[in-house]
Structures are given as C-alpha cells and as structure tokens.
Amino acid sequence: QTVVTQESSLTVSPGGTVTLTCASSTGAVTSGNSPNWLQQRPGQAPRALIYGATNKHSWTPARFSGSLLGGKAALTLSGVQPEDEAEYYCLLHYDGVWVFGGGTKLTV
C-alpha cells in the first residue's frame, strides 16, 4: 500500500516564506505522479491550488508555487498572509489511482 507523507504541522510568521513537502513510499516523486496541492480551511471544502507539480489554477494566488525538490513534491508560500492558515494536502497519481498525503496544518 502506497503511503504519501507530509509534515504534520508547520508554523510561519506573516510575510515569511515556508515550504511544505510531499514524499512517496515508492521512491522519488516525479512529474509522472502529477503532484497536486490543495488547501482546506476549517468548515470548508478543499480548494485546488497546484496540479502537475508546478501548474497553477486561474484562482491560485501568485504567492503559491509548486516544484519538485530532492525527490519530493514541494509547495512554497512566499509572503504568507494570515488567511493562508489552513490544512494543505498533497495528492499523487499512480497509474490511475490517486493517494492523498495526511495533510500539513499550517499556522500563521
């Protein structure tokens, strides 16, 4: 069974920069896993931020960026805003099947 691992929690100051990572139990995360990143605020549905590792949706704020870094997928927030406090989920693709990470609780 494939396991996707994220940091359980991170803290960042307003205006700062933070990087969240996403690792796969099968080995290095690649573009073939088409990493997606989603944000979920309390009481709300998830909102997609990044797909295909680096691609932003039309509604994704410019301060969010995705990358592949050291065998992991990464989500970097630059110039963090108070409204960025939320749970962030990574989602990886494995031959038609998708697996979520456990989520990272970001505290601002």
- Residues of this chain that interact with other proteins (CB under 8 A) are 1, 34, 36, 38, 40, 45-48, 51-52, 55, 57, 89, 91, 93, 96-103
- Of 57 and 63, the one with the shorter C-beta distance to other proteins is 57
C-alpha 106: how far from its chain's center?
Answer: 11
Of 82 and 96, which CB lies nearer to other proteins in the complex structure?
96
Structure tokens at 80: 């963090």
Least Å from the CB of residue 79 to other proteins: 24
Structure tokens at 107: 């505290």
Distance CA(71)–CA(60), nearest Å, equals 24
